[in-house]
Chain A
């Protein structure tokens, strides 16, 4: 059951990212050239909706269906990681027009491009794991 819920929410996420063309290289370039409001609208209204929802969950102390209290945690601050990792990620986002979820979408829509992206991302993950002890946080 948990699996089906998670799978369905992933399906919804994917379906919306495809229908709104967020997965497409052109939309990402358009965003970085400030030529269209579309991407800013998607990201901005997604953050606003999520923030309001979390506010309501906290205000009314809503519990999960398993009966536990919901306490979302901010990710730890890692100055070097947040800035340098963020920059590198942004470089990849600008080059490929894809962030992580769109990589998976491209695997379904244009599987050869998707495989290249996934192979690259997995290599990047492995390289990070190997050199992590030498990187400043």
Chain B
């Protein structure tokens, strides 16, 4: 299999939104599954003392994502992008998933977890779902996502990482 072009991938992702609404009465989102998981670790915190049941479906949805990844991996269906190593970030991309870079993924994961809770959603819940509702909160948050990503990609990453 080759790269699924954007004009097929995007509409397919977009269609998940009405399917979830019609079949499950749920709004697309993924990151609340971390709130659900956290509520089992520190159940006494007020943030975790909530109606957990409303987020349980996101854990099932995430499980579906994981099953997809395991199936693609098992049947060798994953096609990595063709990397242009003449670009600085292309050269970095070649070895980025090496375990030497554990600190990038641990710290990055931490700010993703913190940021998505503080912003009340991630790329799925804000960027796709929220923007499709023309929600002001989601538009502002999406701007934040891009500002943070641009800053780190252009300024921070070249300083802290050399391929």
Interface residues of A (CB under 8 A from B): 2-3, 5-22, 24-33, 35, 37-51, 53-54, 56-57, 62, 64-66, 68, 70, 72-101, 103-110, 112-113, 116-130, 132-133, 135
**What would 22 A/B residue contacts be, using CB atoms closer than 8 Å?**
A6-B26, A11-B67, A20-B3, A20-B5, A47-B127, A48-B14, A53-B15, A57-B22, A75-B135, A75-B138, A87-B144, A89-B144, A91-B156, A93-B112, A93-B123, A93-B149, A95-B108, A96-B108, A100-B124, A104-B62, A121-B34, A129-B48
Q: Which residue of B has the minimal Cβ distance to A43?
A: B127
Q: Which residue of A has the minimal Cβ distance to B124?
A: A101
Interface residues of B (CB under 8 A from A): 1, 3-28, 30-31, 34-35, 37-38, 41-42, 45-48, 57, 60-73, 77-81, 83, 87, 89-90, 92-93, 96-97, 99, 102, 104-138, 140-154, 156-157
Q: Which residue of A has the minimal Cβ distance to B129?
A: A50
Q: Do B23 and A73 have beta carbons less than 8 Å apart?
A: no
In the bound complex, how far is the Cα of B27 from the Cα of A91, in angstroms?
A: 25
Chain A interface mostly helix, strand, loop or mixed? helix
Q: A83-B141, A103-B109 are in contact. List 9 more A-B contacts (CB 8 A).
A: A3-B60, A7-B64, A26-B83, A32-B146, A33-B89, A79-B140, A86-B142, A90-B151, A94-B151
Contacts of A14 in B (CB 8 A): 64-69
In the bound complex, how far is the Cα of B82 from the Cα of A35, in angstroms?
A: 13
Q: Do B14 and A49 have beta carbons less than 8 Å apart?
A: yes
Least Cβ–Cβ distance between B15 and chain A, in angstroms: 6
